[in-house]
Amino acid sequence: MPDSPETRVRIAPSPTGPLHIGTARTALFNYLFARRQGGTFILRLEDTDVARSSLAYEKDILDGLHWLGLTWDEGPEVAGQAARGPYAPYRQMQRLPSYAAAADRLLAADLAYRCYCTPDELDAERRRLEAAKLPPRYNGRCARLTDDERRAFEAEGRRPAIRFRVPEQEVIAFDDLIRGRVEIDASALGGDLVIVRADGNPLYHFTVVVDDAAMAISHVIRGEDHLSNTPKHILLFRALGHPEPRFGHLPLILNADRTKMSKRKTQTALAEYIEQGFVREGLVNYLALLGWSTGTEEEVLSLDELTERFDLAHVHKGGAVFDRERLEWLNGQWIRRLGVDEFVDRLQPFFEVELAGGRIDRLPTDDELRSLAPVIQERLPRLGAVGELVGFLFVDRVEVDPAQLVPKRWDRAITVDGLSAARDALARHDEVTWEADELEPPLRGLAETRGWKAGDLFMAIRVAVTGRTATPPLFDTLVALGRERTLARLDAALAALGS
């Protein structure tokens, strides 16, 4: 392990699936820690699961981290291409010789041995322990084979795995950066650990230690689900003659029912949140608050502000519940902080999705969106909700359910009367006076004169011109529609009511 006093942390995802929200949160915490300490943030790809790893998943991971703004100092910059950094390569499948050399060192020192147990034999032992209500544990059958026994197994065509000798009587203790003192008895680790499969492929517990040592990783900050792995890793660091890094285990991200976050109950892929129109500032802000706080009432924080304030001492030990409503609230705060031009630029791709899906008939112009910004920017929880909010402005005609046109306190006849009178009142305005503060008084006066509640009249008009019961403020909506389209849609609604 290179002798380096600097802070060096890494994120080491496996390209066997899309970038997970939990992995993104872990990457963020490592990034913030490195930047706060003036250290180095490294990306390493754990791609030894060849059957499940893919270039598409690698691209998804790299694109997602780039999108979040988590720039790394060493590692692959582009999917499938060479990495940059003094400890390259940063893909495990390109580092196989280093794992083979480390395994040979352990074998030579009798800290590891070749295991010839077959999958069937191991499965039978697992079932025996299960029936006896005992935890799974390797029985050490191959731990002390003679040369003759090894030759006999090889003559049968058995290919050996390599197991690391786990000490029987030892307590592995370490000071977790988040949880404090942790002590785990080696007897609870399940016996001697397979570090290289019979097919020659090294396993996670081994590769992660070899790589962390080779890359001078000073701090390993990862999820709580790795806590039980840490004693195994510490033993391997020591056996290989390397000082172990400091460890910190982050709280799990939980579903609303406090079970571990899973895609069955919660969307887990970062790409899904991007597609729904969560902005990077909002998502980064929310992920930082999943298990960490500033210790103050501050909630809306930029990446730079998070970097200035981040401290592992304020990471919570308990699980962090993923709250979609809070995420949307925080995301909305960041949408409202966007400048108008930035807001329009980020919004247009979501209108393109609406057009491709046949939910609108044309794209708005940038000028139209700039004029709409004061109305919609304050109301969007995410950019992808813009179609639900104002898609009716960009369709040739709205589909109106006649039953929805009739307010609860009205019947069909009153609704026809109300919409007809409202149309007449609105028709008296020309394009010059078609402004919200000009349109509202006569309609309120109409409701008062007829003895109607203004809300009932306004709801009937809203449904008639938008096809929806929930929209931006009615009079802003009428202005956005314009005089001719408003009157035409009122005529269509009256026709639908049989007027």
Write down the pTM of the prediction.
0.92
Q: Are 276 and 384 in contact (CB under 8 A)?
A: yes
What's residue 352's pLDDT?
98
The residue extents of the domains of the chain are 96-250, 280-389, 402-496
Mean pLDDT of 390-411: 94
Which class is domain 402-496? mainly alpha
Q: What is the pLDDT of residues 124-163, one digit of tens each?
A: 999 999 999 999 999 999 999 999 999 999 999 999 999 9
Which class is domain 96-250? alpha beta
% of the chain residues with pLDDT over 90: 92
The CA-atom distances, in angstroms, between 48 and each of 11, 76, 92, 157 are 16, 16, 6, 25
- How far does the chain reach from its first CA to its final CA, in angstroms? 84
Choice among 232, 260, 263, 408 that is catalytic: 263
Q: What are the residues whose beta carbons fall under 8 Å from the beta carbon of 27, sequence distance 6 or more?
A: 11, 13, 65, 68, 70
Q: What is the pLDDT of residues 195-206, one digit of tens each?
A: 999 999 999 999
Instruction: For residues 223 and 250, give the distance between their C-alpha atoms in angstroms, rounded to a whole number.
Output: 5
HSE toward the beta carbon, residue 360, CA cutoff 13 A: 20
Mean pLDDT of the chain: 95
Q: Looking at the predicted structure, is the pLDDT value of residue 427 above 90?
A: yes
Instruction: For residues 365 and 344, give the distance between their C-alpha atoms in angstroms, rounded to a whole number.
Output: 10
Q: Is the model more confident about 273 or about 260?
A: 273
Q: What is the pLDDT of residues 452-482, one digit of tens each?
A: 999 999 999 999 999 999 999 999 999 999 9
Q: Is the model more confident about 267 or about 57?
A: 57
Query: Kind of pairing, strands 161-164 and 193-196?
Result: antiparallel
What's residue 1's pLDDT?
42
What's residue 80's pLDDT?
81
Residues in a beta bridge with 184: 172
In this structure, is the dihedral angle defined by the CA atoms of residues 64, 65, 69 and 74, taken in order, positive or negative? negative
pLDDT-wise least confident of 25-29, 207-211, 253-257, 271-275: 253-257
Instruction: For residues 74 and 9, give the distance between their C-alpha atoms in angstroms, rounded to a whole number.
Output: 10
Q: What are the residues whose beta carbons fall under 8 Å from the beta carbon of 374, sequence distance 6 or more?
A: none
Instruction: For residues 454 and 16, give the distance between their C-alpha atoms in angstroms, rounded to a whole number.
Output: 57
Confidence of residue 267 (pLDDT cuts 50, 70, 90): confident
Is the peptide bond prior to 89 cis by the omega test (within 30 degrees of 0)? Answer: yes
Mean pLDDT of 411-438: 96
Q: What is the pLDDT of residues 74-97, one digit of tens each?
A: 999 888 888 889 999 999 999 999
Which two tokens mark 108?
């030579």
Burial code (b: 16+ CB inside 10 Å, e: under 16) for 352-368 equals: eebbeeeebeeebeeee
Instruction: For residues 70 and 273, give the distance between their C-alpha atoms in angstroms, rounded to a whole number.
Output: 17
Q: What is the pLDDT of residues 12-51, one digit of tens each?
A: 999 999 999 999 999 999 999 999 999 999 999 999 998 9
> Is residue 260 among the annotated active site residues?
no
Confidence of residue 168 (pLDDT cuts 50, 70, 90): confident
Confidence of residue 2 (pLDDT cuts 50, 70, 90): very low
280-389 homologous superfamily: Glutamyl-trna Synthetase; Domain 2 (1.10.1160.10)
Instruction: For residues 193 and 208, give the distance between their C-alpha atoms in angstroms, rounded to a whole number.
Output: 14
Three-state helix/strand/coil letters over the chain: CCCCCCCEEEECCCCCCCCEHHHHHHHHHHHHHHHHHCCEEEECECCCCCCCCCHHHHHHHHHHHHHHCCCCCEEECCCCCCEECCCCCCEHHHCHHHHHHHHHHHHHCCCEEEECCCHHHHHHHHHHHHHCCCCCCCCCCCCCCCHHHHHHHHHCCCCCEEEECCCCCCEEEEEECCCEEEEEEHHHCCCCEEEECCCCCECHHHHHHHHHHHCCCCEEEEEHHHHHHHHHHHHHHHHCCCCCCEEEEECCEECCCCCECCCCCCCCEHHHHHHCCCCHHHHHHHHHCCCECCCCCCCCCCHHHHHHHCCHHHECCCCEECCHHHHHHHHHHHHHHCCHHHHHHHHHHHHHHHHHCCCCCCCCCHHHHHHHHHHHCCCCCCHHHHHHHHHHHHCCCCCCCHHHHCCCCCCHHHHHHHHHHHHHHHHCCCCCCCCHHHHHHHHHHHHHHHCCCHHHHHHHHHHHHHCCCCCCCHHHHHHHHCHHHHHHHHHHHHHHCCC
Q: Are 440 and 475 in contact (CB under 8 A)?
A: yes
The CA-atom distances, in angstroms, between 380 and each of 261, 307, 359, 386 are 26, 27, 18, 7
Mean pLDDT of 224-249: 98
Confidence of residue 319 (pLDDT cuts 50, 70, 90): very high
